[in-house]
Amino acid sequence: MSVALFDCTSAYDTTTAEYSAVVREEAARATRTVYASVFFGENYLACGSSSGSLSVFNLDDVLREQRGSGGGTSSPDPSPRPSLVVPDAHRGAVYSVIAFTLQGSEMLCSAGEDGRSVLWRASDLIAAANAKATRSERTVAVTPAGEFKNPQESKARGALGPVPETTALAVDPTRGTLLSAAGDGVCYGWDLGEGRDAPAMRLRGHNDLLHCVAARVGANQAVTGSEDGTARIHDLRSETCSHVIDVWRAKEGKSGGHGSGAWVGCVALDKAENWAAMGCGGGCITMWSFAAGACASRVPTAAPPQALRLTGQHVMAAGAEPAVYRWNLAGEQISRQPCTPKSVFTLDLQPQRSLTAVGGTGGSVDIFSELGTRVTTLRCL
């Protein structure tokens, strides 16, 4: 009796080499992590991931596809794909993407593991995403508008240390300063107007790598959070630190010191810049009042928070669990919304459409409506 051989590639109707490429892509997709997301333009979303690529989604196209499919599809992967992918935007993971206006033009800046902060014109990304000639080919090379590179530490005998990674970005548009939180514990300030290779300022004081930074534009200040367990409030004019906050112990009246070992992973300011929310690896969110110069409250969290946003009277946070939480400023939980990523690293809001982007592990980004309904789940490449 003859035995038929089963060819596992036959279902793909392709060669062995092509089948191997499919398997590698599926494995890469399963382990891909989205670390950064930002809404820009009127209807676009840019995401940075562990692949080093920048994925741009046209939300109008995404929602149109969802309506056309009736919310379902027979495809094995129903998640909408990006309108544009900028391959190798960074050598290594992309940890932060922000949008801002510079001299009347909307800009994006991405940064990551390679220590480079790369500037992109929003108009260039939108034009590439909408180019009908390249609709079938999503991967397009877009020329950056500029870039900054973190300085290397000088070692003995003329040697240079590694380029420290950039873990977070913030911008002060009134000063024209880009702030990049780096892996060497320094927050570098870059002059966007002059575009010099050397940083215009260095905010020092932390004993370990930085995880986050936020610009308090109205007071010429910046807030940084670090692996050393502290958050620091810096004066941008004098490049000095005015407050050292032990985020884990701040409510106990021990706001100064060198930290308790519970890293500070995220920080966010409210629109009026009166409050700062700081997420701590010990499992809490500390609310800091700039007016009082003290901690006002501390909210315990089920898992270490990794992304934060302050929206009006609410605190939105997510972290090392598949859920997004909302609290009021008094610390009372308002809602818990399950999400697709098992661990969340990025949150962003679009006020015009009242949409929320939630990205993290698995290379996926959930889009939620104002009512908490999941509109769609995007797939980053």
Domain boundaries, the chain: 163-300, 304-381
**Cα 27 from Cα 13, distance rounded (Å):** 20
- Model pLDDT, residue 327: 93
Confidence of residue 14 (pLDDT cuts 50, 70, 90): low
The amino acid sitting at 18 is E
- Model pLDDT, residue 79: 73
**pLDDT of 205 over the 80 cut:** yes
Mean pLDDT of the region 320-338: 92
Q: What is the pLDDT of residues 348-362, one digit of tens each?
A: 999 888 999 999 999
88: left (phi over 0), alpha (psi -120 to 50) or beta: left
**pLDDT of 304 over the 90 cut:** yes
H or E, element range at 120: strand 116-121
* Bridge partner residues of 11 (DSSP): none
What are the DSSP E strand ranges found in 270-350? 275-280, 284-289, 294-300, 305-311, 314-319, 321-328, 333-338, 344-350
Mean pLDDT of the region 197-205: 95
Q: Which residues of 119-149 are buried (b: 16+ CB within 10 A; e: fewer)?
A: bbbbeebbebbeeeeeeeebebebebbebbb
**pLDDT of 2 over the 80 cut:** no
**Cα 244 from Cα 233, distance rounded (Å):** 7
**Cα 371 from Cα 225, distance rounded (Å):** 31
Q: In 3D, which of 142, 50, 46, 121 has the Cα closest to residue 378?
A: 46
- Model pLDDT, residue 364: 94
**pLDDT of 10 over the 80 cut:** no
Mean of per-residue pLDDT scores for the chain: 88
Confidence of residue 194 (pLDDT cuts 50, 70, 90): confident
Q: What is the pLDDT of residues 72-93, one digit of tens each?
A: 444 445 678 888 999 999 999 9
**pLDDT of 258 over the 60 cut:** no
* Bridge partner residues of 208 (DSSP): none
Other residues' Cβ atoms within 10 Å of the Cβ of residue 220: 16
More confident residue, 70 or 243: 243
Is residue 44 classed as helix, strand or coil in its secondary structure? strand
What is the dihedral sign for C-alpha 212, 214, 219, 221?
positive
Within this chain, domains 163-300 and 304-381 share the same CATH topology: no
The amino acid sitting at 319 is G
- Model pLDDT, residue 186: 97
Mean pLDDT of the region 247-268: 73
Mean pLDDT of the region 150-179: 90
**pLDDT of 68 over the 90 cut:** no
CATH code for 304-381? 2.40.10.480
Kindly report the CATH class assigned to 163-300.
mainly beta
Mean pLDDT of the region 332-342: 95
Of 96-100, 251-255, 303-307, 337-341, which gets the smallest average pLDDT?
Answer: 251-255
**pLDDT of 241 over the 60 cut:** yes
**pLDDT of 97 over the 50 cut:** yes
**pLDDT of 133 over the 50 cut:** no
Confidence of residue 275 (pLDDT cuts 50, 70, 90): very high
DSSP secondary structure of 220-269: TEEEEEETTSEEEEEETTTTEEEEEEETTTGGGT--SSS--S--EEEEEE
Mean pLDDT of the region 103-114: 96
The amino acid sitting at 75 is S
Question: Residue 16: what are its φ and ψ, rounded to 5°?
Answer: -60, -40
